[in-house]
């Protein structure tokens, strides 16, 4: 299984993960998919994140990751999962505030976003436990500690 990944960089940040890292993290999250899934990861600055978060979620502030699942029209055969929009400013700020390795935090958010594209969510407590458990398991295969433990 290989993820067909389109990466769009729409920000000024010299400490972004490499395309290879993004690919590895997406493939880790999507390892249970039978066909080669496709997705886009767009890395943005705070303004674009805030605009999208406001437009689609009604929250007028930037956020770390937004997931936009693609709804395949009936009769069309394509394994396009959707788009992830990740705000580098927010990711970097959170990593510092939470005392986390910056690329470990990126890995977590790519995996988190990919799971949203697969239909996982964390609105209800049971769903949150399921999603977080899967994130912890996937991250551990990459040698990354549980992101939900207090440091």
Q: Could you give all domains of the chain from N- to C-terminal order, each with its CATH number?
A: 4-141 (3.40.390.30)
Q: List, in sequence order, every beta strand (DSSP E) within 11-79.
A: 38-44, 65-69
DSSP 10: E
Judge residue 7's burial from the number of C-beta atoms within 10 Å of its C-beta, 0-12 exposed, 13-18 middle, 19 or more buried. middle
Can you give the pLDDT at residue 41? 98
Can you give the pLDDT at residue 123? 79
* pLDDT tens digits, 117-145: 999 988 788 888 899 999 999 999 999 99
Q: Which residue has the tokens 């040698």?
A: 143
Can you give the pLDDT at residue 122? 84
Can you give the pLDDT at residue 151? 56
Low-confidence ranges of the chain (pLDDT < 70): 1, 150-151
Can you give the pLDDT at residue 116? 95
12: its two tokens: 């000024």
Q: Which residues contact 10 (CB under 8 A, 6 or more apart)?
A: 42, 43, 44, 45, 48
- Model-wide pTM > 0.95: no
Q: Which residues contact 22 (CB under 8 A, 6 or more apart)?
A: 5, 7, 41, 110
């Amino acid at each position: 299984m290989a993820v067909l990944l389109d990466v769009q960089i729409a920000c000024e940040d010299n400490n972004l993960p490499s395309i290879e890292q993004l690919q590895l993290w997406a493939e880790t999250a999507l390892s249970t998919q039978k066909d080669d899934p496709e997705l886009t990861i767009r890395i943005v600055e705070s303004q674009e994140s805030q605009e999208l978060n406001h437009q689609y979620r009604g929250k007028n502030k930037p956020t770390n990751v937004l997931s936009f699942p693609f709804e395949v029209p009936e009769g069309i055969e394509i394994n396009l999962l959707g788009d992830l929009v990740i705000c580098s400013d927010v990711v970097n700020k959170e990593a510092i505030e939470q005392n986390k390795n910056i690329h470990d935090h990126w890995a977590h958010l790519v995996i988190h976003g990919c799971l949203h594209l697969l239909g996982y969510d964390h609105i209800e407590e049971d769903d949150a436990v399921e999603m977080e458990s899967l994130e912890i398991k996937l991250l551990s295969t990459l040698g990354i500690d549980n992101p939900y433990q207090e440091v």
